[in-house]
Amino acid sequence: MAKSWEATAIAASVPRRNPVVLETTHPEANSSTKWLRLNNSSATTDEPSSGATKLRRMLFETNELIVCPGVYDGLSARTALELGFSGLYMTGAGTTASRLGQPDLAIAQLHEMRENAEMIANLDPFGPPLIADMDTGYGGPIMAARTVEQYIRAGVAGAHLEDQVLQKRCGHLSGKKVVSQEEYNARIRAAHAARVRMRSDFVLIARTDALQQYGYDECIARMKMARDEGADVGLIEGFTSKEQAAQAVKDLAPWPLLLNAVENGKSPTITVDEARAMGFRIMIFSFATLAPAYLAIKETLMRLKTQGVVGTPKNVTPVTLFEVCGLKHSMAVDMNAGGASFKEGV
């Protein structure tokens, strides 16, 4: 059997790496010859914590509720970074809608999801950790393992793996079907083994969508089995009441649970304060940026169609938007390298 979640949490999956040693001179060069790229560097430097390590420490070394707005592209992610959230969540529904213009019906596959997650995770690789949707793992155990491996290489801190059939749908739609417990266990087992092979602190989140089809007790049973196979966190999708959500935390304690907050979805609206009081450890808001973006875009385009103007507020200039997306950093890179592209400003 795979390592228990308790052991995984305590051991943090992998031993810490030793500091990186940097040589300031080539071993065959004389003392007066230096490689410019290492001039004035310190003799040693500690490797920065990965997003996965940050997320694991937040989970198991603090008691805070990790609130993650759902982001789906570079601008929504940059805006969340600007506001200082402690974590981000890449929504599968948002990725499918923004990149493919399609509904969340298993249309986006590993390539689209990994590519989008890698872009978001590396906007600020030293910033808040990114949790991503990995759907069903996009196939059997081999694909579930491959998805974890690719997400780890992409810089994703953690992801949730669900038990829906491969022809899945958004967790807040009706008519969901799930695979057998045995088949789901195989997915979790393969995903856990993959992150152990990769020596990563990657946080594996087990998600069940069995509530619609089989009821609450089946969800608890599936979560306990996923926990015993090495999953770090649990996610029961589509709670039907606040009381049911609070009970799940109690029934699975002290194993940490994640709450997916989808306003106007299948579940009642639960606030951050309510989730914190219930004992949830992570809270993701899957449609936090996607739904408001749709409303704002539609309103603006309607104004353009009817009034002939966009109506952008005067304080929102092209420079403002570019600064959100890292304009000052790009200018600094050019100027520090001796470039003159921005000597007259922008």
Measured distance CA(61)–CA(55) in Å, rounded? 10
Catalytic residue, from 73, 118, 149, 162: name it: 162
> How far, in whole angstroms, is CA 334 from its chain's centroid?
31
- Known catalytic membership, residue 124: no
Contact 107, 136 (CB under 8 A): no
Catalytic residue, from 207, 222, 227, 281: name it: 207
Q: Are strands 88-90 and 66-71 parallel, antiparallel or unpaired?
A: parallel
Catalytic residue, from 135, 163, 201, 229: name it: 135
- Known catalytic membership, residue 135: yes
49 φψ region: left (φ > 0), alpha (ψ -120 to 50), beta (else): beta
Catalytic residue, from 149, 209, 229, 237: name it: 237
Catalytic residue, from 72, 151, 170, 232: name it: 170
- Known catalytic membership, residue 104: yes
Is residue 39 packed enough to be buried (19+ CB in 10 Å), middle (13-18) or exposed (0-12)? exposed
CB 114: neighbour CB atoms within 10 A? 21
Which pair of tokens denotes residue 289?
Answer: 């940026």
Q: What secondary structure letter does DSSP report for 286?
A: T
3 closest CA partner among 204, 176, 139: 204
Catalytic residue, from 89, 138, 151, 184: name it: 89
Catalytic residue, from 56, 114, 118, 133: name it: 133
Contact 263, 247 (CB under 8 A): no
- Known catalytic membership, residue 46: no
- Known catalytic membership, residue 232: no
Catalytic residue, from 78, 114, 146, 160: name it: 160
- Known catalytic membership, residue 217: no
- Known catalytic membership, residue 207: yes
Contact 208, 236 (CB under 8 A): yes
Measured distance CA(153)–CA(28) in Å, rounded? 34
- Which residues are the active-site residues? 89, 104, 133, 135, 160, 162, 170, 207, 237, 260
